[in-house]
Amino acid sequence: MMNLVSRWGATSTVGVLVLFAAPAVFSQAADTDGADVKTPEVGVEAQGAQSPELTGQVKPEAAQPETGQPTASKGAAPARICTAQTGNNYHRYGVLLREKLKGTVDVEVIETRGSWENIERIDSSPRLCDAVIAQEDAYILHQFEKPSSGLTMDRTATLFPEYVHLLCPQTVQAQSLSELDPEKHSIIVNEYGSGSYITWRLFRRLNPDYKRFQIVEKGVDEAMLRILDRGAPACFFYVSGLGGHTLNTADNTFGAQLRLVGIDDPKLTRKVGRDNRQIYRPSRIDVGVYKKLQTTSIMAPTVAAVFFLSPEWKARYPEAARQLASALLQVIGESND
């Protein structure tokens, strides 16, 4: 199912998808790439002309009737929500929705490996999910990688922002990603199919200069070991909510050896995809979020975690769809308290 092309270029290192891993120091279920979050604000609209290569456009196909969908139990419409691993924030939102909808919608919370698998599952025929939680850029990248799929989803709600972190050794003098030298610094990206993997691929489309970097795919623990090594300097590119397990562990344990480097690139705010949307928004990680990894506030793009819904399910169960919208409002509001 996970057939996202892993191809970075002639100088890059190609990684493999790891389905099972031993218990790890930095990586926990609650910190699965791009889904352990608190909920700060996001900001600003992009300007400028649209490049044809960024549209990813094909003529969307009309939504087709689904077959093989679960039959509603008496008095409750069935809804399969694809999320992530247990403990991950995507999964937590699914569980909260199931609790809110008990008795009115029969919610099945499906565990997955995250955004890319969720997009592929709802794109299958018949659909294997009625709703998914995914990084917004995963949907856009899917349009580029599979232009003939004609995937249709209703964008129902933005749940929370996720921040793009760039973690480097203290010896790296650059203050931003644009100041890193591709001849001297390599970029470590979390493994195939992860949120960080997806975001870096779309970054390369928005700013082709990033194709000059040597890319190394590693799991979270291996990535941390690599940037702590005193060999050739490398930085770890990681999408996560603020104050997540991985970044907090790095801050508390290795803050004297590592630092956050900003990402402030206007090209990343260009609008892309069939809907011509701005995916990345300039945001700021304020002083104090990480006690040791930063001494000043830094710029970091955010990408939204989005709740997408099958339009066929919405048409089949209009009252359940209204109940779902109400539950989403409650869960988002309570998470922001």
What SS3 state is found at 52?
helix
Task: Please report the pLDDT score of residue 62 as a whole number.
Answer: 42
* Token digits of residue 135: 């990084």
What's the average pLDDT block by block, 10 residues per block, for the chain (337 residues)?
A: 49 35 50 44 37 48 43 75 91 97 97 94 96 97 92 95 97 95 95 92 96 95 94 93 91 96 97 94 96 96 98 97 98 90
Task: Please report the pLDDT score of residue 192 as a whole number.
Answer: 87
The C-alpha atoms of residue 49 and residue 51 are separated, in whole angstroms, by 6
Residues 6 or more apart whose Cβ sits within 8 Å of residue 277? 136, 140, 271
Tell whether pTM > 0.85: no
Residues in the chain: 337
Burial environment of residue 3 by CB neighbours within 10 A (0 to 12, 13 to 18, 19 or more): exposed
Please report, for residues 73, 244, 254, 272, 303, the alpha-carbon distance to residue 140 in angstroms, rounded to integers and kept in the order given: 35, 25, 35, 8, 12
User: How much of the chain exceeds pLDDT 90, in percent?
Assistant: 69
Enter the DSSP assignment of 76. B
Per-residue pLDDT of 26-60, as tens digits, reads 654 445 464 443 333 333 333 344 544 555 544 44
Task: Please report the pLDDT score of residue 66 as a whole number.
Answer: 43
| Cα–Cα nearest to 130, from 308, 290, 3 | 308
The C-alpha atoms of residue 234 and residue 225 are separated, in whole angstroms, by 11
Per-residue pLDDT of 255-268, as tens digits, reads 999 999 999 999 99
Burial of 36-73, coded b for 16+ CB within 10 Å and e otherwise, reads bbebbebeeebeeeeeeebbbeeeeeeeeeeeebeeee
Provide DSSP, 99-135. HHTTTTEEEEEE--S-HHHHHHHHHSSS-S-SEEEEE
- The residue behind tokens 């089949």 is 316
- The residue behind tokens 């419409």 is 77
281 bridge partner residues = 302
Residue 304 phi, psi (nearest 5)? -80, 140
| Cα–Cα nearest to 205, from 303, 284, 279, 306 | 279
| Cα–Cα nearest to 290, from 240, 336, 335 | 240
Per-residue pLDDT of 73-114, as tens digits, reads 567 899 999 999 888 889 999 999 999 999 999 999 999 989
What SS3 state is found at 139?
helix
* Token digits of residue 304: 């939204």
Task: Please report the pLDDT score of residue 27 as a whole number.
Answer: 53
User: How much of the chain exceeds pLDDT 70, in percent?
Assistant: 78
Instruction: For 29-56+70-336, give the CATH class.
Output: alpha beta
Task: Please report the pLDDT score of residue 18 as a whole number.
Answer: 34
Please report, for the chain, the start and end positions of each structural domain, with discontinuous segments joined by +: 29-56+70-336
- Virtual CA dihedral for 236, 242, 247, 253, nearest 10 degrees? 140
Instruction: Give me the sign of the Cα torsion angle 91, 94, 99, 100.
Output: positive
